[in-house]
């Protein structure tokens, strides 16, 4: 653990603040053998988009490991160590075969589970291939994403299926993918932070597409953060005329956030519904993170295209300075944000809850237990909480009393959801 930087209470005090403490490595480092890396290696994590696996193998890096991912001619997906076990040539130059992937250098052929099917240059009676395996990880495909389990084989969990991915009247599909040059935790923290919607997403905002949920709301929402049976949620509650609008966002550890549809629907005067978007974040290594965007589109509606505003570095630098987006805010917190330099405030309760949940999970793994979110048996379809809810509730007599009413209304909505009383939608 590092010591915290001094709390500066004097003007022109920069001289006293020059040390940069190191990062919280327990929460942020994901390479093999690290506490957080072991935590991640207890879950199924998305590693690639199904559509990206064509006739060439893809070189990728996940949790600090260099790997190759491919789909062979029989349709099976494989994820294995990048370097061939013969003499180390990268399998990104390999040949995708009907069954498995063949190294380009001397033709060794590997099945998706790492078994060596052929060693063409060896004598016919060689038993090398029967004695040796290449390092491989189990994969599965779900709704257009390839997931992998990179942990100990005897701890492989059931694959979680959430209600939002299984709605009969919705089409669920993998959207685009993008990369952020920073640690995974600050990327996930962004999703537990409704306060940034009100500030970051309204700066320089002539573009109504970027206004998202903040738009014309001058009033501060009420924010509440709580644990759910499957993860965490925040409630973002506002007055809208004679109604109270409760916007709930889910975190499903370790990788998925779900967002309500209100960013779009609010402009159309319709606040209904369950999420239309999710983001999976997978650590590439300690200082790079891959996002997989996920869409849920109701039958008959046109599917969104491309990434939302501000998710990449592709815009000109000056434009990003004048109208920064999520990419700029998160990646500029340093490659790994230094918690010992932060001054957390009341809007950071979700961040604290998230860090505590992750730390608890990391320590559970160290004790040989399962972290929250790991499923030993297939539980069927899991209920999640993300949604927009509108409640009829005319304003109270005073602004103060109305704030209380907003909080009470939000809590009631949350309680009904947690008790399973609310109808799935
Ligand atoms: S290095 Fe791969 S087969 Fe020789
Ligand atoms: Fe954002």
Question: What are the pLDDT digits (tens) for 360-419?
Answer: 999 999 999 999 999 999 999 999 999 989 899 999 999 999 999 999 999 999 999 999
Any atom of ligand 1 within 6 Å of the Cβ of 84: yes
**Which atom from ligand 1 is nearest to the alpha carbon of 108?**
3
Distance 195 CA to ligand 2 centre (A): 9
CA dist., res. 331 & res. 329, Å (int): 6
Ligand 2 centroid vs 358 CA: distance in angstroms?
A: 21
The atom of ligand 1 lying closest to the CA of 89 is 1
The dihedrals phi and psi of 249, each to the nearest 5 degrees, come to -115, 140
Which of 7, 384, 364 has its CA nearest to residue 155? 364
Q: For the chain, what is the radius of gyration of the CA atoms?
A: 24
CB 238 within 8 Å of CB 219: yes
Would you tell me which CATH number, out of the four given (3.30.2350.10, 2.102.10.10, 3.40.605.10, 3.60.15.10), belongs to the domain 45-150?
2.102.10.10
Ligand nearest to the CA of 190: 2
Give backbone dihedrals phi and psi of 372, rounded to 5 degrees, phi first.
-55, 135
Instruction: State the average pLDDT over residues 224-251.
Output: 93
- Over 70: is that where the pLDDT of 334 sits? yes
pLDDT for 12 equals: 95
Q: Encode pLDDT of 241-250 as tens digits.
A: 899 989 999 9
pTM for this prediction: 0.93
d(CA 312, CA 314): 5
- Max Cα distance, the chain (Å): 89
The reply to whether ligand 1 has any atom less than 6 angstroms from the CB of 93 is no
C-alpha atoms less than 13 angstroms from C-alpha of 42 in its C-beta half-sphere: 23
Quick one: pLDDT band at residue 297, thresholds 50, 70, 90?
A: confident
User: Does ligand 1 come within 6 angstroms of the Cβ of 101?
Assistant: no
Residue 70 beta carbon below 6 angstroms from any ligand 1 atom: no
Of 26, 92, 79, whose CA–CA distance to 48 is shortest? 79
Residue 292 CB-half CA count within 13 A: 24
CA-proximal residue: ligand 1, atom 1 (nearest)? 87
Helix (H, G, I), strand (E, B) or coil at 345: coil
Name every residue whose Cβ is closer than 8 Å to that of residue 123 and which is 6 or more positions away in sequence.
none
Work out the average pLDDT over 181-209: 82
The minimum-distance atom of ligand 1 relative to the CA of 91 is: 2
Among candidates 380, 334, 335, which has minimal Cα distance to 165? Answer: 380
C-beta of 87 in contact with ligand 1 (< 6 A): yes
Confidence of residue 202 (pLDDT cuts 50, 70, 90): confident
> What pLDDT, on a 0 to 100 scale, did the predictor assign at position 208?
46
pLDDT value, residue 210: 45
pLDDT-above-70 percentage for the chain: 92
Q: What are the residue boundaries of the structural domains of the chain, listed by start?
A: 45-150, 161-418
Query: Is 181's pLDDT higher than 50?
Result: yes
**Dihedral angle computed from the Cα positions of residues 371, 377, 378 and 380, in that order, rounded to the nearest 10 degrees:** -80
Q: How confident is the model at residue 234 (pLDDT cuts 50, 70, 90)?
A: very high
Q: What is the pLDDT averaged over residues 12-38?
A: 94
- Whether the per-residue pLDDT at 341 is higher than 60: the answer is yes
**Which atom of ligand 1 lies nearest, measured to the CA of 119?**
3
Q: Kindly state if the Cβ of 90 falls inside 6 Å of ligand 1.
A: no
Confidence of residue 223 (pLDDT cuts 50, 70, 90): very high
What is the structure's pLDDT at 421? 61
Residue 1 has pLDDT above 80, yes or no: no
| 200 alpha carbon – ligand 2 mean position (Å) | 7
DSSP run (H or E) holding 45? strand 44-49
* Contacts of 21 by beta carbon, 8 Å cutoff, 6+ apart: 2, 3, 4, 5, 338, 340, 341
Among residues 241, 262, 273, the alpha carbon closest in space to that of 393 is found at 241
Mutate to test the pocket of ligand 1, among 80, 81, 82, 89 (most ligand atoms within 8 A of CB): 89
| CB distance 292 to 283 below 8 Å | no
Q: Identify the architecture of domain 161-418 in CATH.
A: Alpha-Beta Complex (3.90)
Reported for 301-304, long-range contacts at CB under 8 A and 24+ positions apart, including other chains, are 303/171, 303/173, 304/175, 304/276, 304/277
C-alpha distances (whole Å) from 274 to each of 80, 163, 424 are: 36, 10, 9
State the ligand closest to the CA atom of 193.
2
Ligand with smallest separation from the Cα of 189: 2
Is residue 89 within 6 Å of ligand 1 at its C-beta? Answer: yes
User: pLDDT-derived band of residue 424, with 50, 70 and 90 as boundaries?
Assistant: very low
Q: Is 105 in the pocket of ligand 1 (CB under 6 A)?
A: yes
CA of residue 212 to ligand 2 center, whole Å: 9
pLDDT band at 213 (very low <50, low <70, confident <90, very high): very low
Dist CA 198 CA 414 (whole Å): 22
In whole numbers, what is the pLDDT of the chain averaged over residues?
91
Residues with CB under 5 A from ligand 2 (ion): 326
Task: Yes or no: say if 48 and 69 are a contact pair by the CB < 8 Å rule.
Answer: yes
pLDDT given at position 170: 83
Residue pair 74/43 in contact by the 8 Å Cβ criterion: no
Residue whose Cα lies nearest atom 3 of ligand 1: it is 106
């Amino acid at each position: 653990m590092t010591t915290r930087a001094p709390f500066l209470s004097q003007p022109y005090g920069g001289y006293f603040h020059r040390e940069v403490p190191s990062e919280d490595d327990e929460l942020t480092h994901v390479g093999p053998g690290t506490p957080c890396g072991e935590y991640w290696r207890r879950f199924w994590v998305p590693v690639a988009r199904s559509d990206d696996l064509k006739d060439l193998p893809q070189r990728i890096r996940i949790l600090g490991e260099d790997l190759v991912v491919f789909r062979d001619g029989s349709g099976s997906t494989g994820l294995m160590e990048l370097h061939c076990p013969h003499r180390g040539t990268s399998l990104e130059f390999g040949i995708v075969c009907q069954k498995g992937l063949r190294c380009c250098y001397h033709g060794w052929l590997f099945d998706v589970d790492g078994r060596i099917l052929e060693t063409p240059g060896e004598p016919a009676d060689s038993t090398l291939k029967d004695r040796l395996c290449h390092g491989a990880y189990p994969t599965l495909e779900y709704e257009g994403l390839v997931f992998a389990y990179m942990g100990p084989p005897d701890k492989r969990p059931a694959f979680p299926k959430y209600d939002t991915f299984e709605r009969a009247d919705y089409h669920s599909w993998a959207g685009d993918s993008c990369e952020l040059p920073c640690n995974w935790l600050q990327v996930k923290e962004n999703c537990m932070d409704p306060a940034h919607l009100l500030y970051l997403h309204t700066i320089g905002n002539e573009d109504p597409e970027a206004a998202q949920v903040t738009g014309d709301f001058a009033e501060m929402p009420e924010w509440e953060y709580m644990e759910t049976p499957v993860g965490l949620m925040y409630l973002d509650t506002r007055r809208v005329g004679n109604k109270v609008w409760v916007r709930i966002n889910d975190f499903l550890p370790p990788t998925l956030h779900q967002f309500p549809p209100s960013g779009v629907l609010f402009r159309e005067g319709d606040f209904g519904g369950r999420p239309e978007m999710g983001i999976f974040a997978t650590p590439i290594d300690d200082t790079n993170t891959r996002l997989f965007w996920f869409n849920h589109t109701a039958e008959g509606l046109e599917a969104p295209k491309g990434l939302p505003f501000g998710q990449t570095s592709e815009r000109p630098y000056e434009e990003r300075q004048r109208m920064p987006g999520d990419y700029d805010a998160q990646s500029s917190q340093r490659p790994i944000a230094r918690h010992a330099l932060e001054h957390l405030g009341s809007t950071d309760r979700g961040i604290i809850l998230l860090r505590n949940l992750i730390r608890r999970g990391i320590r559970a793994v160290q004790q040989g237990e399962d972290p929250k979110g790991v499923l030993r048996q297939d539980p069927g379809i899991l209920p999640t909480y993300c949604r927009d809810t509108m409640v009829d509730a005319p304003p109270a007599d005073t602004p103060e009393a109305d704030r209380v009413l907003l909080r009470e209304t939000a809590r009631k909505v949350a309680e009904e959801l947690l008790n399973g009383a609310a109808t799935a939608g």
